[in-house]
Every structure is written in C-alpha cells, then in structure tokens.
C-alpha cells in the first residue's frame, strides 16, 4: 500500500481533526489499518523527529503532531484489539522514569491486547518499584519502553530492582534501544517494534 499523503500531512501538521477524519474514512473504506499505521502514520512521526533534529520544528510542533497521531490511533485501536479470546497471560508495560513518550508504548499495548494478552498499562515516567508492584500482582512479563538515550539507562535500574525474581521476564524496546543493550543490562529480550514485541511475548509464554 502506498502512503496516504493526506493522513501523513495531517499528522505531521498537527491537524488533529483532519487526522481523525481521514483515518475514519480509511477504516470505512476497509483499508488495512496495519498498513496505514506502518506506511503513513508512523512515518509522519519519524519525519517530525527528523525535522526536530534539524531544528526546523520545536517541542510544541512535536506535541501537536503527537495529538494528531493519537486521534488517528484512537480510531484504529478497536480494529487492532478485537480478538475475543481468553487472555493468554498478564503483561505490564510502561515508559520508564523521566520519559514521557507514550505513542510507541501504547501501540505495543494495543497489539498485545489484539493478540489476546491482558495488558496492565502503567503509563509514563514509571519508577522501578511500580514495575515490581506489577510483578506482585500476577504479571509474568514486564515491558519497558524508552525513547531517550538518557532515560534508557534507567532500564538497568528496573532490571536490577527485579533481580532474583526468576518468575519474571523483562522485555525492553524503544527507538534508541538495541538487542545488545538488552543483553548488556540483563533484560530477557528486545522488541524492535510492536509486532516484534508480540512475537517475543508469544515465544516467552510458549504460544509461538
Ligand atoms: Co521527543 N524526542 N522529546 N517528544 N520525540 C524524540 C524521541 C527524538 C528522537 C527527536 C529527535 O531529536 N529527533 C529525541 C530523542 C533524542 C535522543 O534521546 N536520542 C526527543 C527529544 C530530545 C525530546 C525532548 C528532550 C525535547 C525537549 O524537551 N527538548 C523531550 C523529552 C520529554 C520527556 O520525555 N521527558 C521530548 C518531548 C516530546 C513530546 C512530549 C513533545 C512528544 C511526545 C508525545 C507523546 O509521546 N505523548 C515527542 C515526540 C512526538 C517525539 C518524536 C517526534 C516521535 C515519537 C513517536 O511517537 N514516534 C520522536 C522522534 C522519533 O521517534 N523519530 C522524539 C512514533 C512511535 C510509533 O514510535 O515511540 O519509536 P516509537 O515506538 C516504536 C518502537 O520504538 C517500538 O515500537 C513502536 C513501533 O511499533 N517500541 C517498542 C517502543 N516501545 C517499545 C517497547 C517494546 C517493544 C517495542 O517492548 C517493551
């Protein structure tokens, strides 16, 4: 599927109502929402990041683009999460302390729900003891997201905090994170994107 330029432009331009309207039109036309996400919506956020790096836009523009992205995501969410199966396992996800980026984390949560997982979304700016509390509530997989090179360092603190909990698996992800970094800090796995994260969770709970 080619890029939907109008949707790309609406998200990049922070036009929330247009983004919602165009997304709804695509859903009504039975356009594959996964492709819409990968070809038009996520690339718009990537372009926003590139422009920010070149000092062509600033934080307010990133913020309004994020709002437009979220308006589109709200429309496709029911299609991504409709699964109707018994929960396969309970997983917790959160963006680590100091980090407010939540679009990628929300996407991972949506895809996991769509794959039949019971997802406890802890939110953003989450400290290690909150993840530990989730582990005490029957969660078997803890998922950490970070978008900043500064905040990804905190993932190690969470891993260290959960040391000795052999019943818990920790998956990390987010743009600056790598598989090597996961190994280095002792996390069990690294998820490249939301689809990859689902595959990894499937493998860890023995569904794959
Ligand atoms: Co910020 N920001 N931001 N930002 N922001 C980035 C991340 C940045 C790369 C932009 C840039 O410079 N090019 C840069 C980080 C540089 C770095 O550390 N290397 C940056 C910066 C610097 C900042 C501030 C410091 C700016 C400032 O204040 N001077 C500030 C920090 C605030 C904070 O968190 N404390 C800041 C603020 C913001 C906004 C609040 C304005 C807004 C966020 C709004 C929100 O999330 N509600 C924002 C935005 C929108 C971005 C960009 C443009 C877009 C992020 C996004 O939503 N991408 C971003 C540039 C970029 O990403 N290229 C940027 C779309 C999303 C679908 O992708 O989140 O990567 P992503 O998720 C992917 C994968 O990474 C993966 O799956 C998803 C796709 O399927 N994934 C996982 C994510 N988590 C996972 C977990 C998993 C598995 C996979 O398992 C556990």
Q: At what angle do helices 59-81 and 103-114 cross, to 10 degrees?
A: 0
Query: What tens-digit pLDDT sequence spans the chain (208 residues)?
Result: 789 999 999 999 999 999 999 999 999 999 999 899 989 999 999 999 999 999 999 999 999 999 999 999 999 999 888 756 677 899 999 999 999 999 999 999 999 988 889 999 999 999 999 999 999 888 999 999 999 999 999 999 999 999 999 999 999 999 999 999 999 999 999 999 999 999 999 999 887 5
Six-digit token string for 147:
């978008």
Q: Is 99 in the pocket of ligand 1 (CB under 6 A)?
A: yes
> What pLDDT is attached to residue 51?
96
Q: Is 60 in the pocket of ligand 1 (CB under 6 A)?
A: no
> What pLDDT is attached to residue 32?
92
Which atom of ligand 1 has the smallest separation from the CA of 48?
A: 53
Question: What is the pTM for the complete model shown?
Answer: 0.95
**Rounded-to-integer distance, Cα 101 and Cα 69, Å:** 13
Q: Is 95 in the pocket of ligand 1 (CB under 6 A)?
A: no
> What pLDDT is attached to residue 1?
73
Residue intervals of the chain classified under CATH 1.10.1240.10 are 5-82
> What pLDDT is attached to residue 83?
59
142 neighbors 114 (Cβ within 8 angstroms): no
Q: Is 63 in the pocket of ligand 1 (CB under 6 A)?
A: yes
Q: Which of 140, 133, 132, 136 is nearest to 112 (CA)?
A: 140
In a mutational test of the pocket of ligand 1, which residue from 57, 155, 175 has the highest number of ligand atoms less than 8 Å from its CB? Answer: 175
Measured in angstroms, how far is the CA atom of residue 66 from the centroid of ligand 1? 10
**Rounded-to-integer distance, Cα 94 and Cα 86, Å:** 23
The CATH number for 5-82, chosen from 1.10.730.10, 3.40.50.720, 3.40.50.300, 1.10.1240.10, is 1.10.1240.10
Measured in angstroms, how far is the CA atom of residue 192 from the centroid of ligand 1? 14
| 90-205 fold | Rossmann fold (3.40.50)
| Cα 53 from chain centre | 21
Q: Is 43 in the pocket of ligand 1 (CB under 6 A)?
A: no
> What pLDDT is attached to residue 63?
96
Residue intervals of the chain classified under CATH 3.40.50.280 are 90-205
Measured in angstroms, how far is the CA atom of residue 194 from the centroid of ligand 1? 14
Say which residues have a Cβ less than 8 Å from residue 19's Cβ, sequence separation at least 6.
7, 10, 11, 68, 69, 71, 72
> What pLDDT is attached to residue 26?
96
């Amino acid at each position: 599927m080619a890029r939907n330029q109008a949707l790309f432009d609406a998200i990049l331009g922070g036009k929330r109502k247009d983004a919602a309207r165009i997304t709804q039109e695509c859903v009504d036309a039975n356009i594959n929402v996964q492709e819409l996400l990968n070809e038009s919506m996520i690339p718009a956020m990537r372009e926003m990041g590139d422009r920010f790096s070149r000092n062509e836009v600033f934080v307010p523009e990133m913020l309004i683009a994020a709002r437009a992205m979220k308006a589109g995501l709200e429309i496709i969410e029911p299609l991504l999460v409709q699964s109707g199966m018994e929960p396969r396992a309970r997983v917790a996800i959160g963006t680590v302390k100091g980090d407010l980026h939540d679009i990628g984390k929300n996407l991972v949560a949506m895809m996991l729900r769509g794959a039949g997982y019971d997802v406890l979304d802890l939110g953003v700016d989450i400290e290690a003891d909150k993840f530990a509390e989730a582990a005490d509530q029957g969660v078997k997989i803890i998922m950490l997201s970070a978008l900043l090179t500064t905040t990804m360092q905190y993932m190690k603190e969470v891993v260290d905090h959960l040391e000795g909990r052999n019943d818990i698996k920790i998956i990390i992800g987010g743009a600056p994170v790598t598989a090597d970094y996961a190994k280095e800090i002792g996390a069990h796995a690294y998820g490249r994107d939301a689809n990859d994260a689902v595959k990894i969770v499937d493998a860890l709970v023995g569904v794959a």
